[in-house]
Chains A and B, each alone.
Chain A
Amino acid sequence: MDNWVIEAENLTKVYKMGEVEVHALRGLSLRISRGEVAAIMGPSGSGKSTLMNMIGCLDQPTSGEYILDGERVSNLKDDQLATIRNRKVGFVFQSFNLLPRATALANVELPLRYAGIQRGRKERARAALELVGLADRIHHRPNELSGGQQQRVAIARALVNNPAIILADEPTGNLDSKSGEEIMQLLLGLNQEHGTTLVIVTHDPVVASRTPRIIQIMDGVVVEQDTGNRSQ
């Protein structure tokens, strides 16, 4: 029981689009344990992105309870959310989202700077880049790196603060199949070697098939959980 990283209870989210109220989440409950790898799937409009925003503490649910790594998140203010994101969530985006003018090292350092860490930033950033196999590219800028390499920098950036979860949003979506496979191997390898909890949001069945657990979202609720060889 104590080993849940993500505990979401009865989450709802209502957006106001002008006069119309859009119910993106309708009482969704979800639990992911420490060290697990899970894929969240669902067609567009299913509430998949909304759920990802909730899990990543980018947004607050309208109602319901969300506990991330033992911290109640549902009633926090913006800046407190920022601190939670900084410490507990590592984001990997589809379009990498690296700062174009900064070197790989500086990009990986960024979360440490917002964490207020003054000493040993460079060393930690370098170690993270070594972990993703980019030790020889640390002073390159994003435009000097391939797509796969850029995504590796992004993964290093996600790892550098030792977050409770890594939240990857279509991590292979902008890559060719070979680089995509390499990135999947890297992510799964990190889970196996370091026990990093991994949540991958995707609509690609090939990607989802690599994960032991697939969570299907439809109309704002979990409709199916294929837990593979694990028992809930």
Chain B
Amino acid sequence: MNIIQSFYEALESVSSNKMRSGLTILGIVIGVAAVIAMVSVGRGAQNTITGSIQGIGTNLLFVFRGGSEDVRNPKPITLGDGDAIADPFQAPSVADVAPMLQGDGIVSYAGENHYTSIIGVTPSYGPVRNTTVSEGEFIREEHILGQASVVLLGPEVAKKLFNRTEGLVDETVRIEGQPFRVLGVLESKGGSAFSNQDDRILVPFSTAQTRLLRRATRDRVDLLMVQAVSAQAVPQASEEVAQILRTRHRTEVGADDFTVLTQQDFLDTAQTITGVLTVFLGGIAAISLLVGGIGIMNIMLVSVTERTREIGLRKALGARKIDILVQFLTESSVLSLIGGIVGIMLGWLISFIVGRIAAANEADITPAIGVDTILLATLFSTAVGLFFGLYPANRAANLEPVEALRYE
């Protein structure tokens, strides 16, 4: 018996009981579609997250308060710490330092209110975060010295308040009720899944410190962004920053009251989390594929019982064990193969729709359907068909011809 013929015969047998075969196939379809949709959406989320982290810049370090838990009296990061780190003699691998204060508040203009994040920055913020203005000018040193009431609007904030992003310089907006002169509008950076870089406003650090985002001690800093001289110098810079802060905070060895994170740390963490998420989702989906496989086994067992006489006859006519085995295995593989093909298409469709829904909600998740995913799903579903078909087929092949012929 050649393969094409037994394939054709299996197809005929499968189609002779359309309802039953259809339902069995549906089990596999759902399983395969779920695996593909879950894995591709998971991958899409992973790509988006790692993409947005990479967008921050490869040679950045983040320094913030808090470290190991057994520090008795942790000190905050201060502007003085920032100045020390910026000193090229103490930290030759550091190119620039941008201290930041972060908070939320209401910006309003002509009765239009918008709740957004407020960031107090120094002029270094521009080069360090690669942030530029589309009109007006960036915050300068004299704004810091004079605690000037000036603000840079993110394009999204500008759109919300003015319905435009141009011609806004010297307009006056109110932040938490206080009047601020618009100094410029930030260049659009695009949103990411978790933080919209366009929906924020920048004010001079000193202004934020004294009037908007007051902290317990005067020169406290929420976050220091440190730019290393190059991507290769990041580990070196990290070490220098840590040394400076240990000295300044007089902490004991091994008990830092601060944390230095590099972009790679974020990337690693994010990838671990999303990777686990993808595997988890895929695993749950695989369970439904397993259930589908059990459906195949069930239906094949019924089929073997139903066709006991036919098996007996085939054996009487000279079918060997392998012939019967191949016949039933082909049948179960055809079921799972059809299920696999339809499932791939359905999974594709689902992830496409999920992508669209995400896009409509301004979360930029593009589902990534890899060839490996499709290959894996196809292989897996065929393997499921073979595996769960093996027991019924083996049962059929081992029927005694005498018994089988006598079966009613």
Contact = CB atoms under 8 A, between A and B. Distances in A.
B320 A82 contact: yes
Contacts of A87: 318
Interface residues of A, number: 25
B319 A59 contact: no
Interface string A79-99: 100110111000101000101
Interface residues of B, number: 23
Contacts of B402: 53, 58-59
B318 A78 contact: no
30 contacts: A53-B402, A58-B316, A58-B401, A58-B402, A58-B405, A59-B402, A78-B320, A79-B320, A79-B322, A82-B315, A82-B320, A83-B320, A86-B317, A86-B318, A87-B318, A93-B405, A97-B313, A97-B405, A101-B12, A111-B318, A113-B1, A113-B5, A114-B1, A114-B314, A114-B317, A114-B319, A114-B320, A115-B318, A157-B317, A161-B318
Nearest to A80: B320
B310 A85 contact: no
A78 B405 contact: no
Contact of A118 (B2, B313, B315): B2
Question: Which secondary structure characterizes the binding site on chain B?
Answer: helix
B309 interface: yes
A73 to B, nearest CB: 14
A56 interface: yes
A97 B2 contact: no
Contacts of B321: 78-79, 82
B320 A85 contact: no
A175 interface: no
A59 B309 CA distance: 16
Interface in B312-367: 313-323
A190 interface: no
B217 interface: no
* Complex A-B, nearest 8 residue pairs according to Cβ-Cβ distance, in ascending order: A86-B318, A114-B318, A79-B320, A97-B313, A82-B320, A111-B317, A58-B401, A58-B402
B178 interface: no
B247 interface: no
Contacts of B5: 113
B112 to A, nearest CB: 74
B16 interface: yes
B13 interface: yes
Contacts of A79: 320-322
A107 to B, nearest CB: 10
Instruction: Kindly name the residue among B5, B12, B13, B319 whose own CB sees the greatest number of chain A CB atoms within 10 A.
Output: B319
Nearest to A157: B317
Contacts of B2: 118
Contact of A82 (B1, B313, B319, B405): B319
Contacts of A188: none
Interface in A30-66: 53, 56, 58-59
A138 interface: no
Interface string A191-222: 00000000000000000000000000000000
B220 to A, nearest CB: 83
A131 interface: no
Interface in B261-311: 309-310
A110 interface: yes
A65 B12 CA distance: 43
Nearest to A114: B318
Interface string A101-132: 10000000011011110100000000000000
Among A56, A58, A99, A161, the most chain B Cβ lie within 10 Å of the Cβ of: A58
Contact of B317 (A85, A101, A118): A85
Contacts of B13: 101
Contacts of B12: 101
Contacts of A101: 12-13, 16
Given A101-B12, A101-B16, A56 B316 contact: yes
A111 B316 CA distance: 9
Contacts of B400: 59
B317 A91 contact: yes
Contacts of B318: 82-83, 85-87, 111, 114-115, 161
Contacts of A97: 309, 313, 316, 405
Contacts of A56: 316
Interface string A1-41: 00000000000000000000000000000000000000000
A118 B1 CA distance: 8
A161 B316 CA distance: 13
Contacts of B401: 58-59
A115 B1 CA distance: 9
Given A56-B316, A79-B322, A97-B313, 13 more contacts: A59-B400, A79-B321, A82-B315, A82-B319, A85-B317, A91-B316, A91-B317, A101-B12, A114-B318, A114-B319, A114-B323, A115-B318, A118-B2
A111 B313 CA distance: 10
Contacts of A110: 314, 317
Contacts of A59: 400-402
Nearest to B404: A58
A115 B323 CA distance: 11
Contacts of B322: 79
A99 B64 CA distance: 79
A120 B14 CA distance: 28
Interface string B1-23: 11001000000110010000000
A157 B313 CA distance: 12
B309 to A, nearest CB: 7
Q: Which of B313, B317, B400 has the most CB of A within 10 A?
A: B317
A53 to B, nearest CB: 5
B14 to A, nearest CB: 11
A5 B227 CA distance: 98
Nearest to A167: B316
